[in-house]
Structure 1
Amino acid sequence: MAVSGPLRSLAAWARPPWRDPLIAVALFTFGAVLYELQDPTALPGVVDQPQQWARLLVLGVCCSGTLLRARRPPLALAIGLAGAGVDFVLGFSAPVLFVLADLMFAAVHYGSRRLARAMVALVPVALVGSLVVTVATTGLLALAFLTAVQVAAVVLIPVWWGMNVRQHRDAAAAERERAEQATRIAELDRRAVIANERARMARDLHDVVAGHLSAIAIQSEAVLSMAGGGDQATVRTVLGSIRENSVRSLTEMRAMIDMLRGDEEGVREVAAPPRLAEVDGLVDSARASGLRVAVRNALGAAVGEGDPGPPAGPPAAVELAAYRIIQEALTNAVRHAPGSRVDLVLERTVDGVLVTVTNTLPDRLPPSGGTGHGLTGMRERARATGGTVTAGVVDGRWRVRAALPVRGDDR
């Protein structure tokens, strides 16, 4: 519901820093009116000026403590108690008791926990003390009970009210803190998801750049070395491989850009994850780059025939990881061991799929210009499927072996 202009202005005045001065003025005005109305002996034009001004002065002192009720509750309560002590000498009056009750409420509501607990402990002390003092001084039990009721009205009600409001305020603050913590946790989760997605995209970009574009560079250099001579059929084969790698790079880059733009239909149509049946393209590209690649496939589907495999083949996530690991291993062989012999073996194990890429070591290690992220990317891809990757020299040859498990429910 919309709040009108005057009500909005009143609500603004009821908030700090104007709230406490307004309360002090209201209490003083109300008390002054009560002092004027409660003197039945006053005749028109005849006022007991010293008595009246003394009470107004005491009331003003008490109301000055109200100015500090929210900022300095202990000091405000001390000023109120001092004024109430003077008013006790003059004879307790209702206006001062009203101000004292408000200061006790403020002490419980705005004060520290220690002050609030002290005010709660003060209530039974005040009740018992008023009963004992009244009985000891007057001997009248009925008067002592009436005094205790009055003390309860002045002490018990504001303290109970202040504690109730304080508990609701603390509960609301705790709820806000829980909501803020939940918001922070959700934000951290969102950032973690974004970071993981960026890492995955970085791996994909690395595979595209390191795989296709590195092959393009190496094959282009081979064509340049054959300029003016060489077998034209070989030149045409290398140029065809360059074109195929370029088209694949553009296709994968376009698919990733479409994904970033949120083109879900384009992603489903263009960015289908590569499978092991497409390894023939990687093998042909590696052969065109000068590698001698031998393939042994024991997965039940012929690599290089475009057959996606039988229904019992590995799941898409495992095939994608195996494909990217083979791509990175062949790229590393082209870059670090040009002209070497490479053996690619695909096997089905009891737990899943085993990929082994082995190549001979060169006599002299050529400058790679790489970033060192290849092995890290292969390990992360294998870890994403619950598998492992090992790489190192075995029997004088460099071997990359990836064990990718297949869960029973994925078979």
Structure 2
Amino acid sequence: MASELRHTLQRLNAHPRGRDAVAAALYLLLGIALLQFGGFRLSGVAVFAPSAGIWTSETIFLLLLLAMAALATMRSTHPLAMLAAGIPLVAVDVLLGTSLGVVILFSDFVYCAFRYGSDRGVRVVLAVILVTFVAVGITLVVWHGAAVRYAPLALQWALFVLLSALWGWNVRSERERTRAAMAQTHARSMQQLRQRVAHDLHDLVANQIAVAGLNIEAARLTASAAAETGEVDQILARAKSGTDDAHRELRRLIALLTTVDDVEEAREPSVSARRLDDLVPSDRRLVHTGEPLEAALAGMPPRAAGIVVRAVQELVMNAVRHGTGDVELAVAGDEHSDAAITVRVSNRVAEAAAAVHGSGIGIAGATMLLSDVDGAVVSAATDDGRWHAVVTVGEARDV
């Protein structure tokens, strides 16, 4: 029952015209009930009270109620127009002595004008209300005879209008604050998503292009040492040049990705520790020490293990691109915790003239990913000319 009611309310909120029609019908039923129980001539001040034939005060009150209820069918879709159209009807109602049903409907019109109206329209309504209050106040002060008789009526209507306007303004302000907070949250989410997509491109695409380029370069150098390989050398040189251009363009796109909106969430990429050796060109080796990385990750959740592998891939690629010689990979788990692991990647730093300067995107991405699994990455060069990078997850021991 509760779920059906909630579903019905959601459908009404999604269709303003239907919601307004339901509200108008309820207001009409309430107004008719109030007329039956004597909810009219409340002010005690009636300019005229017709009683000829069917055109009695009760009949006119009912007609006014029906007209106000008809206007209420567009209370949220055209709030300012309905408020303007309701003012003459309210004026007639006041001249007859005021009925409670019309007062309630007009108060709702004022509320809707402040809640649903445009910014410019709300300013106009607010100005009209202030001018009306000032004009009525001056009239009551100048016209001494009317002050005693009409001051209570003016005060009552001032309270009706003021309370409805304040209520509508409060709901409008809360809606604006909620909308601003949601926009801010959406902007942060989109920024995080853009960063994630950029790091995914870097880790899963750019690194592979770099590996292909390194392998092609190694093959070209090997072929250059053999006899009569000029044509092969030219082909491999062109291939190497193409991968270098693709790599540069991809990095440029990664940098521009931070300005792109409406990026949809991608599925978690599939990574494997078995492919770490493929990141090292054929003329160099990945030297494993300690326990196998896959064995050390066996006790971790798949997502956390994938993040660790991606971080290690980035460190291995940095060692390949920015260093020389073989790359060492040392892995140590923790016998007391399946979720604790330390991975150290080290190699000899290339000479300054041959070193390739990176953008830092990869390390930043690895740091961001590891923070989701209570991990961290630290890298630095030592005095012995080697570069060391350490990935730690949990309270793992040193290696």
TM-score normalized by the length of structure 2: 0.54
Of 71, 75, 86, which aligns to 2:92?
A: 86
Pairwise CA distance, 1:111: 0.7
Pairwise CA distance, 1:108: 0.9
Structure 1 contact 13–19 (Cα < 8 Å) conserved: yes
Identify the residue that residue 382 of structure 1 maps to in structure 2. 356
Identify the residue that residue 9 of structure 1 maps to in structure 2. 8
Identify the residue that residue 20 of structure 1 maps to in structure 2. 20
Q: Per the alignment, do residues 275 and 160 of structure 1 end up closer, same or farther by CA in structure 2, a change over 3 Å counting? A: same
2: CA distance between counterparts of 1:5 and 1:118? 41
Q: Per the alignment, do residues 86 and 74 of structure 1 end up closer, same or farther by CA in structure 2, a change over 3 Å counting? A: same
1: CA distance between counterparts of 2:150 and 2:40? 27
RMSD of the TM alignment (CA)?
A: 4.2
Identify the residue that residue 54 of structure 1 maps to in structure 2. 60
1: CA distance between counterparts of 2:358 and 2:144? 88
2: CA distance between counterparts of 1:172 and 1:36? 42
Pairwise CA distance, 1:171: 0.8
Identify the residue that residue 122 of structure 2 maps to in structure 1. 116
Structure 1 contact 108–162 (Cα < 8 Å) conserved: yes
Deviation readout 1:13-51 (Å, 9 max, x if unpaired): 46523110111111122112222221899xxxx997422
Instruction: Please say if 1:209 is aligned against 2:224.
Output: no
Q: Per the alignment, do residues 200 and 91 of structure 1 end up closer, same or farther by CA in structure 2, a change over 3 Å counting? A: same
Q: Per the alignment, do residues 158 and 65 of structure 1 end up closer, same or farther by CA in structure 2, a change over 3 Å counting? A: same
Identify the residue that residue 166 of structure 1 maps to in structure 2. 172
Pairwise CA distance, 1:137: 4.1
2: CA distance between counterparts of 1:170 and 1:322? 54
Structure 1 contact 104–158 (Cα < 8 Å) conserved: yes
- Percent identity, aligned pairs only, is 20
Structure 1 contact 104–159 (Cα < 8 Å) conserved: yes
Structure 1 contact 131–147 (Cα < 8 Å) conserved: no
Deviation readout 1:290-319 (Å, 9 max, x if unpaired): xxxxxxxxxxxxxxxxxxxxxxxxx99567
1: CA distance between counterparts of 2:136 and 2:384? 80
Structure 1 contact 73–110 (Cα < 8 Å) conserved: yes
Which runs of 5 or more structure 2 residues have no equivalent in the other structure? 42-50, 230-268, 286-315, 326-348, 361-379, 387-399
1: CA distance between counterparts of 2:144 and 2:172? 39
Structure 1 contact 77–107 (Cα < 8 Å) conserved: yes
Aligned residues: 264
Structure 2 contact 208–279 (Cα < 8 Å) conserved: no
Pairwise CA distance, 1:167: 0.4
Say which structure, 1 or 2, has more relative contact order (CA 8 Å, 6+ apart): 2
Deviation readout 1:187-225 (Å, 9 max, x if unpaired): 221222123231222011122234237846985977xxx
Instruction: Please say if 1:263 is aligned against 2:272.
Output: yes
Q: Per the alignment, do residues 127 and 103 of structure 1 end up closer, same or farther by CA in structure 2, a change over 3 Å counting? A: same
1: CA distance between counterparts of 2:275 and 2:5? 58
Instruction: Please say if 1:194 is aligned against 2:200.
Output: yes
Deviation readout 1:324-380 (Å, 9 max, x if unpaired): 9xxxxxxxxxxxxxxxxxxxxxxx9xxx82457xxxxxxxxxxxxxxxxxxxxxxxx
Q: Per the alignment, do residues 128 and 40 of structure 1 end up closer, same or farther by CA in structure 2, a change over 3 Å counting? A: closer
> What SS is found at the alignment partner of 1:382?
coil
Pairwise CA distance, 1:120: 2.7
1: CA distance between counterparts of 2:6 and 2:270? 49
Q: Per the alignment, do residues 61 and 220 of structure 1 end up closer, same or farther by CA in structure 2, a change over 3 Å counting? A: farther
2: CA distance between counterparts of 1:409 and 1:162? 72
Pairwise CA distance, 1:407: 8.7
Structure 1 contact 58–87 (Cα < 8 Å) conserved: yes
Structure 1 contact 130–147 (Cα < 8 Å) conserved: no
Identify the residue that residue 81 of structure 2 maps to in structure 1. 75
Structure 2 contact 20–74 (Cα < 8 Å) conserved: yes
1: CA distance between counterparts of 2:38 and 2:101? 11
Pairwise CA distance, 1:140: 6.4
Identify the residue that residue 338 of structure 1 maps to in structure 2. none
2: CA distance between counterparts of 1:27 and 1:273? 77
Pairwise CA distance, 1:104: 0.9
2: CA distance between counterparts of 1:104 and 1:276? 80
